């Protein structure tokens, strides 16, 4: 099942505090999306609205052309997993799995058991006795095994150690290839998981800063390195995100595609052009507040 997502002018307010303001975007189905933003940017508030955990203060959320809030049919097709989870400490792992199986019609019990073995989770254990990492592993097990057409992980894997996180990333990609669906991953660990993203959305101070295909976004970031005076002259008219100077050498990060003429000029001027990692580009863009993008 392929479900489209249409966010129209959504705002989320907590009293006088505005967490999300007038955010609009569309997501086609069956892609892996990365939702990026600094702490307090509004990611969790936006995802909570998308998953029908709360009603937007303004605007509306449509999934498959239908209003999501209090729509049982749509809610059964969306699985929203957060790091802290929504599971009672009084439950056992087996209880949590049984409850999850009753919530999502596409639940895959065989896959759930495989993941429990992979993460070495005993079904007899009480959730209250699990470490932070084990609780995260239980959360991602439920999210993956739900096989929900829209599966959302909101920093759900932060508690895991590095090897377990990488095992999770591999599972997301493998399961996505075998059972296409929409994944939305909200994360601060961009360097680790960024290669999974087909499309990236960046929130900054509650507003949508950009929505771009990952590869195109990476191509828009360029570092220019060389003698400081030549670099300063070269970047005139370009959007500068950041710069570093070491002695007479300067490195400047710019945002925007360079024309072939610009590329040729860099070679002539003896300047080095280099790519910018997605995480570095994110840091630069949000540091500047996205001015001019």
Helix H or strand E encompassing 268: helix 260-268
For residue 152, what pLDDT is reported? Answer: 97
Given 161, 179, 205, the domain boundary residue is: 205
Residue 27 lies in a domain: yes
pLDDT of residue 111: 97
Task: For residue 136, tell me if it sits in a domain.
Answer: yes
Q: Would you say residue 145 lies in a domain?
A: yes
Q: Same domain, yes or no, for 30 and 87?
A: yes
How many CA atoms lie within 13 Å of 218's alpha carbon, on the beta-carbon side?
14
Q: Are residues 26 and 102 in the same domain?
A: yes
pLDDT at 84: 64
Is residue 288 predicted with pLDDT exceeding 70?
no
Total domains in the chain come to 2
Do 146 and 224 fall into the same domain? Answer: no
Domain boundary among 205, 234, 260: 205
Report the pLDDT value the prediction gives residue 293, as an integer from 0 to 100.
54
Could you list the residue range(s) of the whole structural domain that residue 282 is in? 217-287
Count Cβ neighbours within 10 Å for each residue of 103-123 and write b for 16 or more, e otherwise: ebeebbeebbeebbeebebee
Shared-domain flag, residues 75 and 95: yes
**Average pLDDT of 120-146?**
93
Q: Assess whether 201 and 227 both reside in one domain.
A: no
pLDDT value, residue 265: 94
User: Quick one: angle between helices 93-103 and 109-118, nearest 10?
Assistant: 150
The mean pLDDT value of the chain amounts to 92
Task: Write out pLDDT tens, residues 30-68.
Answer: 999 999 999 999 999 999 999 999 999 999 999 999 998
Residue 14's domain is classified under what CATH number? 3.40.50.300
Mean pLDDT of 149-170: 92
What's the pTM value of the predicted model, to 2 decimals? 0.90
Residues 65 and 193 in one domain: yes
Q: How confident is the model at residue 29 (pLDDT cuts 50, 70, 90)?
A: confident
Task: Say which range, 56-60, 87-91, 100-104, 153-157, has the weakest mean pLDDT.
Answer: 87-91
List pLDDT tens digits, range 255-281: 988 999 999 999 999 999 999 989 988
pLDDT of residue 86: 66
- Residue pointed to by tokens 């507040």: 289
Q: Return the percentage of the chain with pLDDT > 70, whole number.
A: 97
In a domain, 196, yes or no: yes
pLDDT in tens, 220-230: 899 999 999 99
Longest dimension (CA), the chain: 68
User: What is the band of 193 on the pLDDT scale with cuts at 50, 70, 90?
Assistant: very high
Q: Is residue 24 part of a domain?
A: yes
In a domain, 77, yes or no: yes
In a domain, 211, yes or no: no
Q: Please tell me the distance from the alpha carbon of residue 67 to that of residue 61, in angstroms, as a whole number.
A: 6
In the block, tokens 């003896």 appear at 270
pLDDT of 292: 45
Torsions phi, psi of 28, nearest 5? -80, 160
pLDDT of res. 150: 97
Contact status, residue 271 vs residue 235, Cβ threshold 8 Å:
no
In a shared domain, residues 195 and 222: no
Residues 144 and 247 in one domain: no
In a domain, 292, yes or no: no
Report residue 21's pLDDT band, with 50, 70 and 90 as the boundaries.
very high
What ranges in 51-131 are assigned the alpha helix state H? 72-75, 93-103, 109-118
pLDDT band for position 85 (cuts 50, 70, 90): low
Label residue 90 by pLDDT band (50, 70, 90).
Answer: confident
18 with 147, same domain: the answer is yes
Structure confidence at residue 264 (pLDDT):
94
pLDDT reported for residue 138: 94
pLDDT tens, residue by residue, 131-143 = 999 999 999 999 9
242 with 184, same domain: the answer is no
Neighbours of 35 (CB within 10 A): 25
- pLDDT given for residue 120 in this prediction: 93
Gap between the Cα atoms of 30 and 48, Å rounded: 20
pLDDT at 141: 95
Are 191 and 247 members of one domain?
no
Q: How far apart are CA 109 and CA 98, in angstroms?
A: 9
């Amino acid at each position: 099942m392929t479900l489209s997502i249409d966010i129209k002018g959504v705002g989320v307010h907590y009293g006088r505090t505005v967490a999300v303001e007038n955010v609009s975007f569309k997501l086609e189905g069956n892609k892996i999306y990365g939702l990026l933003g600094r702490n307090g940017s509004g990611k969790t508030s936006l995802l909570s609205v998308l998953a029908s955990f709360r009603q937007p203060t303004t605007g509306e959320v449509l999934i498959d052309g239908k209003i999501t809030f209090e729509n049982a049919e749509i809610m059964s097709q969306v699985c929203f997993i957060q790091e802290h989870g929504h599971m009672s400490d009084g439950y056992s792992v087996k209880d949590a799995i049984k409850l999850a199986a009753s919530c999502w019609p596409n639940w895959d019990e065989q896959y759930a058991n495989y993941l429990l073995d992979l993460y070495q989770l005993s079904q007899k254990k009480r959730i209250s006795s699990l470490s932070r990492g084990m609780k995260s592993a239980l959360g991602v097990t439920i999210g993956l095994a739900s096989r929900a057409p829209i599966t959302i992980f909101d920093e759900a894997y932060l508690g895991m150690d590095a090897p377990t996180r990488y095992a999770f990333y591999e599972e997301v990609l493998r399961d996505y290839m075998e059972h296409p669906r929409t994944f939305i991953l909200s994360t601060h660990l961009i360097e680790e998981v960024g290669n999974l993203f087909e499309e990236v959305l960046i929130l900054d101070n509650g507003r949508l800063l950009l929505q771009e295909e990952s590869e195109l976004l990476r191509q828009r970031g360029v570092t220019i390195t060389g003698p400081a005076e030549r670099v300063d002259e070269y970047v005139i008219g370009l959007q500068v995100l950041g710069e570093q100077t070491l002695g007479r050498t300067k490195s400047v990060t710019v945002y925007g595609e360079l024309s072939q003429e610009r590329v040729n000029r860099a070679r002539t001027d003896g300047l080095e052009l280099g790519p910018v990692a997605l995480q570095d580009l994110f840091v630069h863009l949000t540091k500047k507040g996205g001015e001019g993008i």
